[in-house]
Structure 1
């Protein structure tokens, strides 16, 4: 397949950058003895992490030279229950779905169904961004590299309140861009989802069916699916865990079907090892070319800068559904996955050495997957672990919610003294709406005020008075101690004319106007 001029320039740039990289990062060939020692120590580190309570369960696969050389589970599928994790335990892999989905699209590119530069306006004419020019020029490549201008949280908020994929993708047109088109990197679940869904449209089949036909079935990934219902049917599946006090608890479930290409794949260590074999074989698997190399290679071309790796300091870029990093062990491809309600996953591939590792964990927050992967790489390439990488990565993930929760607690620690009273519940009761959030209903129930959001009022949020026309609620199951504001503006008629919902206002779309009583 002919490569377009821009892609050729990018590939030349990538090769020049690698050529200029200090030659010391390229280690000697991996000896069998060093690999054996590294695998033994990896197993000990993984077992130690589970025994220390760092995660309830883990599954790990390592592939080298087209062979699965390590495949094992550790710990338990659910904390407090005896069923063990093994190589066939199905995990929800969260954003590790993105490089998997990029591989599916590469298969469609290989089959000449689409190209990476197919325009979304041609594939899915109904889709719109906020501005007409990006809408007309937007490509699959733009969406898989997160350079469309869509803010990172666009659509996630609608998913949280119960909207389906079609509704969310339709309403992205109301979201103002966070950067100029192709000028900024903003990690967008629903942007990538649109790119995948639009590519699949050309086949007349659903994304879920295409993923199965083009990747899962040819590789024998019998326990892998992009449908949540399939995950729920698996008897050998891992529960999601969050911290409750000092213990892991399986209290929350996560249905990611709305963003299936970006975060909805469920799979096993055994199945994902076969996918890694395909990638390390440049699209060839078991002696047969399944995906043309010139369709798969662009996924690993660095397109957008991501800055530095927060722990190792390596230069990091984004390709198409992949992180592309130039670190202390040379070039690597990778991607992490996380559900804040209880999942952590990771793939790391060193293409020059034909080496890849997949780590699946059933808990959040934890840096165990990155910590084990970095430790394993040190053992393979250097013979010893440079530092406690699990501890370093734990600090990164622990910092994701902690400061935010504490800031919210401090902001709403106490109202002005004395607090201004609320108006009667009838002042706030009514129907409110905007194009993005849709309709919200506020009503007085049981002597209090309740906010209902989502299709048919599917999500209900009790409001407790804080000060004047400001109320508080706690919408996040994963951070139940974090308060957030819901504020009303009351007009001269004694009725609230609008409501601003803080937890839906990341993109300044959280204000809804009264549309009726």
Structure 2
């Protein structure tokens, strides 16, 4: 298996499909494969290494979900209670019905209250500005800052639908992170470190980079109109007004592999149990069986991009994860969990075979066709090797 995986990743870098990549596979017993190819930044000599630090963006959502579920276990959060019980601002959310002749938003109260379960399953009604023209129009009309600004005011956007009505991928997990802070009395950086990262030995995973992590950070690359890559100076805001539970973390492949292995191990960490086994089982259950996750339409320099891992296949969402409802062409069994980050960091968790895979590069925007092709080839080779 290792030789085949090496060939796939090395070839992707040699073709210029990726500036650099780190990928790894683990079972419940530990690492099965790890490889690093290419460079941390185009035009610079530093090679990709296994301890390279990546912005993992929406892979943060899984960590925030674990934090919420720890507090559910402790009896401090009820997933189905109004979330305003923990965070009053959520009781002020309004549904966007359109805009008047002057371009001002028309808002109404939601028909039902937002719950924490709605937040974890992206059925709260909240969206993302980069995936919704209506939200962008609202932001322009009201002066609301972008979700990338790390400003509290960026969360004051309206709902696109009533809670529970449909799946809208968006800032819901940022609000879930705010609930963790309100209930625990700790900011997310502190809570994650004390209750997740330290017990698991994830020393390089954090919102605010230290000198050691900064020295090993991979550059985020943008895509030109001719599809070539250009290095950027993009770094997540290091003095944010709030820590983004939806997308603010940095990590390394070994660190995040440890996190994925914990889930494979039903909540057991290196030195402590992070979650109960029954909680991990509950997190894997498809929460939207009556819905299917829709494609997201993203604008990119090379045109409109549809983000859909499995075209033509029904896909659900659990407490924090994409669920494929059918066996994938690459061999991933139905009921597996997965997601990724905006800079094309990607993972899957195969609970049936006790297997997790992780693929990390730094290209924006999300779902770069070359990165996705390399990831799918990588995954297919893993299953061929089994």
TM-score with structure 1 setting the length: 0.60
CA deviation vs aligned residue, 1:253-273 (integer Å, no higher than 9, x gap)? 142555621111100001011
Measured after TM superposition, the shift of residue 310 of structure 1 is 4.8
Measured after TM superposition, the shift of residue 300 of structure 1 is 2.0
1:83 partnered with 2:83: no
Residue in structure 2 matched with residue 300 of structure 1 by the alignment: 284
Residue in structure 2 matched with residue 121 of structure 1 by the alignment: 84
Residue in structure 2 matched with residue 160 of structure 1 by the alignment: 146
Question: Retained in 2: the 8 A contact 1:123–1:201?
Answer: yes
Map of 1:17-56 to 2, 5 A cutoff? 37=1, 39-56=2-19
Equivalent of 1:235 in 215, 225, 236: 215
Measured after TM superposition, the shift of residue 313 of structure 1 is 3.4
Measured after TM superposition, the shift of residue 311 of structure 1 is 4.3
Query: Which structure: larger Rg?
Result: 1
Residue in structure 2 matched with residue 140 of structure 1 by the alignment: 116
Measured after TM superposition, the shift of residue 118 of structure 1 is 4.2
1:269 partnered with 2:253: yes
Query: How far, CA to CA, are the matches of 2:121 and 2:275 in structure 1?
Result: 20
Secondary structure at 2:215 match in 1: coil
Residue in structure 2 matched with residue 70 of structure 1 by the alignment: 33
Equivalent of 2:20 in 48, 57, 73: 57
Q: Which runs of 5+ in 1 are unaligned?
A: 1-36, 385-517
1:313 partnered with 2:312: yes
Instruction: Give the direction of change, closer, same or farther, for the CA distance of 1:203–1:333 in structure 2 (3 Å limit).
Output: same
Instruction: Give the direction of change, closer, same or farther, for the CA distance of 1:382–1:238 in structure 2 (3 Å limit).
Output: closer
Instruction: Give the direction of change, closer, same or farther, for the CA distance of 1:210–1:301 in structure 2 (3 Å limit).
Output: same
Measured after TM superposition, the shift of residue 151 of structure 1 is 3.4
Query: How far, CA to CA, are the matches of 2:111 and 2:93 in structure 1?
Result: 5
Question: Retained in 2: the 8 A contact 1:283–1:293?
Answer: yes
Measured after TM superposition, the shift of residue 80 of structure 1 is 0.6
Instruction: Give the direction of change, closer, same or farther, for the CA distance of 1:231–1:187 in structure 2 (3 Å limit).
Output: farther
Residue in structure 2 matched with residue 250 of structure 1 by the alignment: 231
Query: How far, CA to CA, are the matches of 1:259 and 1:204 in structure 2?
Result: 14
Say which is worse superposed, 249-258 or 207-216, in terms of deviation: 249-258
Query: How far, CA to CA, are the matches of 2:52 and 2:283 in structure 1?
Result: 28
Instruction: Give the direction of change, closer, same or farther, for the CA distance of 1:368–1:274 in structure 2 (3 Å limit).
Output: farther
Measured after TM superposition, the shift of residue 180 of structure 1 is 2.6
CA deviation vs aligned residue, 1:100-125 (integer Å, no higher than 9, x gap)? 22122222223333233343211012
Residue in structure 2 matched with residue 206 of structure 1 by the alignment: 187
Measured after TM superposition, the shift of residue 368 of structure 1 is 4.5
CA deviation vs aligned residue, 1:416-439 (integer Å, no higher than 9, x gap)? xxxxxxxxxxxxxxxxxxxxxxxx
1:325 partnered with 2:321: no
Secondary structure at 2:85 match in 1: helix
Query: How far, CA to CA, are the matches of 1:109 and 1:161 in structure 2?
Result: 27
Say which is worse superposed, 146-155 or 268-277, in terms of deviation: 146-155
Query: How far, CA to CA, are the matches of 1:247 and 1:231 in structure 2?
Result: 30
Secondary structure at 1:270 match in 2: helix
Question: Retained in 2: the 8 A contact 1:66–1:354?
Answer: no
Measured after TM superposition, the shift of residue 287 of structure 1 is 7.3
Query: How far, CA to CA, are the matches of 1:61 and 1:48 in structure 2?
Result: 16
Equivalent of 2:164 in 182, 188, 198: 182
Equivalent of 1:106 in 69, 93, 99: 69
Measured after TM superposition, the shift of residue 367 of structure 1 is 3.4
CA deviation vs aligned residue, 1:336-358 (integer Å, no higher than 9, x gap)? 211xxxx2110111110001011
Measured after TM superposition, the shift of residue 361 of structure 1 is 0.3
Residue in structure 1 matched with residue 300 of structure 2 by the alignment: none
Measured after TM superposition, the shift of residue 65 of structure 1 is 2.9
Instruction: Give the direction of change, closer, same or farther, for the CA distance of 1:118–1:215 in structure 2 (3 Å limit).
Output: farther
Higher relative contact order (CA 8 A, sep 6+): 2
Secondary structure at 1:282 match in 2: coil
Question: Retained in 2: the 8 A contact 1:129–1:135?
Answer: no
1:279 partnered with 2:263: yes
Query: How far, CA to CA, are the matches of 1:178 and 1:247 in structure 2?
Result: 35
Measured after TM superposition, the shift of residue 83 of structure 1 is 0.4
Cα RMSD for the two superposed structures: 2.7
Query: How far, CA to CA, are the matches of 2:40 and 2:340 in structure 1?
Result: 20
Question: Retained in 1: the 8 A contact 2:266–2:280?
Answer: yes
Per residue, is there more strand in 1 or in 2?
A: 1
Question: Retained in 2: the 8 A contact 1:140–1:199?
Answer: no
